[in-house]
Structure 1
Amino acid sequence: MSSRLYRIMVAICGILGVVALMASFSINPAPPAGASIAQIVVWGKEHQVLIEAGAWLQGIGSLLEVIFMLGLLQLAGATRTLAGLVTAFAATVIVGISFVEVSFYLSAIAGGVSGDMATLGVSLNLIKAIQHAYVIAPAPANLIAIGIVLYRTRLVHRVFSYIAFVLGVALVILGFIGTFTPMQNSIDIVLSVQEVWYLAIAITLIATARAVAANVKPVQSVTVGA
């Protein structure tokens, strides 16, 4: 595979991942604040299709963004560095958390439709818990680690690494404070900026694909000896 095509494919994964996740956040609304279980059941039945579609988009979007992260590591030649390993590990944890959250969305819907209030209540509480677990460690670790990778290479402009550091530190702070007091609105703002950051990197990869193609050898698989 040519280096240009590889960069474009990685970028496309990033763009599609951002689009899927932003669409998921847009069509999958949260239950009304302060609503009782009975009110949530009625609300859930009215929005069932949107919640299920949003859950599917979240799972697919998270997977595509992890592929994007791993592709960036390959392009940067950082798959065997400590920062690269941390990025890969954190990205794997993130997609795992995302699919667990998606499972709780589907579990909540199933509980509400069947009248199983215990399952519905537990699922709703676990959704909030797993969302915060995402911010406590894997999200900031992923941003700071990939920021180090981008800083040490010329894959994209260094301004992207500085933004990654700022976003990572912001999530560390919000993750800690959010353990004691609700901070989800502030966290959502930072995560939205993160998605724009992913999109900007992906567009940059496409914009620079032709320029670097002549100077970069085709991407080949690497076999590790025993």
Structure 2
Amino acid sequence: MRTRVKICGLTRPQDVVAAANAGADAVGFVFYEPSPRSVSIETAAELIRSLPAFVTATGLFVNPERGYVEEVLSKVPLDLLQFHGDETPEFCQSFPARWIKAVRVRNRGDIEQAFRDYFRASGILVDAWVADTYGGTGQSFNWDLIPSVRPLPLILAGGLASDNVAAAVQQVRPWGVDVSGGVESGKGIKHTAKMTDFISEVHRVDETD
């Protein structure tokens, strides 16, 4: 199975193009103001104009108001929603769009519970647990906590970069991997060579298996 790659936290059109050219399957735009990678509705709409066909545009939200999600959906042509906070299953599935749910992992039960609670999701994203921080921490977690039985596609995030993603894919066998800080030269500023190296490492593992 080919491991999918998502590059998250894009803020510049040249980075959108570079990510797609490097082979990214999906890109992510952060609609969460406290994040240094946050973009406005207007900026996100402009960035997506740079996105070629067959690359999934993902909108990341953290505990948003319903009206804000609805406004984004009405103005930005997103393909997928990513809920990265404490949103309920009912909230996540109440919008006319596919969605994935992120879970910050402290123990195996966190992941198993997410599979049960968010069973209508298109996937479960597992990330490091850091108090009062919702993703983008650059920290990894113990991959041994990830169960082998997965009712939904599992997306691995948290502290990934080109120097460890091959080991991550070999050990976890995720449906996809999600990276942000590990391919940056600064917050929200993607580094083309780092994105290319990251995706090449993922593909290298896929091709040797």
Which interval holds the TM-score relative to the shorter structure? under 0.3
Relative to its length, the structure with more strand (as a share) is 2
TM-score normalised according to structure 1 size: 0.25
Relative to its length, the structure with more helix (as a share) is 1
Greater radius of gyration (CA) = 1
